[in-house]
Chain A
Amino acid sequence: MTSGDRETEATVRVDPRLCRGTGLCQAMSPALFRLTGAGHAEAVEARLTGPEALETARSVADCCPMGAVELTVGPSTGGPDRPER
């Protein structure tokens, strides 16, 4: 896999310990983020593909006042189906 391919895939996560439910992520991109009933944010889908979704998620991560949005660029890591290295 080339590095170019890698930059079209990412995992996005909202850290529940940092999130204060400011709603910035949802307002910036309701397609990628939503607020739960309790008022916390979460990613609609943990896995992102495509440069547009990645760029949006990166913007949201940079703008979150709590620094609660984590974006890990690259193919899926962690979890049970992690490929052998």
Chain B
Amino acid sequence: MDHLPAPLFSATYFQDPYPTLGWLRDRSPVHEFAFPVGAVRTWIVTRFDDVRAMLADQRFSSEGGTWGSPEFQAAGLVSGAGSVLEKAVTVVDPPAHTRLRRLVMTAFTPSRITKWQTAVEKAVATALDDCEARGSFDVMAHYAGPVSSTVMSEILGLRIDRHEQLVQALAQAFPSDDAQMPKVAEGFARICDYAADLVAEKRRRPDDDLTTALLRARDDGDRLSEEELVATVAAMILAGSDTIRAFVGNAVLALLDHPDQRDLLAERPGIEEPAVEELLRYEGALSTALFRVTTEELTFGDTVLPAGAPVIAALLSANRDPRQFDEPDRLDLTRTRLRHVGLGHGLHNCLGAALARLEGRIAIPALFRRFPRLDLAVARHDLRYIENWAMRRLVALPALTTGASR
């Protein structure tokens, strides 16, 4: 085959990206294509070693608004452009990044993360009760979604009435239906508004939550400005909600697809932690990292990248690279010393990684423990993925608690 099995970011690609990613790894590991929005010249990097090297190389900047080519900026591809999110820790370079990340990490203390365990367990138990009452349910809408948004609300200290509105705003910011795309910006704006309200509220009434901890975060007399605080809280809501929903859905499907591994998860004590690492490798929430742009003309592998070139690191592809993993398409919870890029790599690797692992470690096994006969309620080939180039998420995962197959 001398052409791509499916064009990048086409409808066919979204439903099954793996043949295309495999072809790219073998034939065109640093591949130029026209990004669907604005037909901007863009490159995608698909091999594990290259993805890791690129994400560790500071000549690949996260500041699209500073270094991106004029076409890239004109096409509106700078994340958070024109909003407070342009200042978020996710999209700035050092030294601003170092300062922000240090301040934010002071709020992510081990004792705080330990406390979150109770919040996760409670959210999981409540969602499981609801699913059990339903009998047949959608893992995405009735389990992964409620768990991720409840935990996020609890951690940030959102009032319960605000929680429902946040769920709606998140649905708007991360639509499952392509027709809803024009409303995405409004969803992002609503989340920034919630973040601003939340910061104002916690300033008036401090509590024992992450927002208050961020308000108080200090580092050698330095602290977050009002704008940075709002950007940080908004970025946490955006980065920590839909990703968990996506990851739990992908992990549940991976285990339904691999009954032997599902049995292993149920039977082997202490396997939860390595299991989460393998599930993050096998199919994490993110297909790609956020855009990087080159700060100068540079040669990467055999490819010359012009200055300002948008480059995409294909995390999903790197984690299935046979150059790095034996039988990468097989889920094997017993893999040891696993190093993957499911939570990114380098400067911008997932800041909430400890929380993501905690939620996965609790929520994924709990579902199978409560419903040992869990089974798909639809044919496997009827499952659909959202049409989003950066996020790998099922639209729905209908399940029965009374599957006959087990």
Contact = CB atoms under 8 A, between A and B. Distances in A.
> Do these two chains really belong together in a complex?
yes
A66 interface: yes
Given A22-B353, A23-B56, A24-B347, A62 B337 contact: no
B31 interface: no
Contacts, number: 58
A51 interface: no
A20 interface: yes
A23 B105 CA distance: 16
Contacts of A22: 343-346, 349-350, 353
Contact of B354 (A26, A59, A65): A65
Interface stretch (B94-102, B139-147, B232-240): B94-102
Contact of A62 (B105, B110, B344): B105
A23 B52 contact: yes
B316 interface: no
B351 interface: yes
Interface string A3-29: 000000000000000001111101110
Contacts of A65: 105, 108, 349-351, 353-354
Contacts of B345: 22-23, 27
Mostly helix, strand, loop or mixed at chain A's interface? loop
B339 A66 contact: no
A39 interface: yes
A47 to B, nearest CB: 23
A31 interface: no
A51 B106 CA distance: 22
Contacts of B344: 22
A62 B349 contact: no
Closest 4 CB pairs of A and B: A39-B339, A27-B346, A22-B349, A27-B347
Interface of A: 20-24, 26-28, 30, 35, 38-40, 59, 62-63, 65-67
Interface of B: 52, 55-58, 94, 98, 101-102, 105-106, 108, 110, 219, 337, 339, 343-347, 349-351, 353-354
21 contacts: A20-B353, A22-B345, A22-B346, A22-B349, A22-B353, A23-B349, A24-B346, A24-B347, A26-B56, A26-B346, A27-B55, A27-B56, A27-B345, A28-B94, A30-B56, A38-B339, A39-B339, A62-B219, A63-B105, A65-B354, A66-B353
Given A24-B347, A66-B354, 8 more contacts: A22-B349, A23-B349, A26-B346, A27-B345, A28-B347, A40-B339, A62-B105, A67-B110
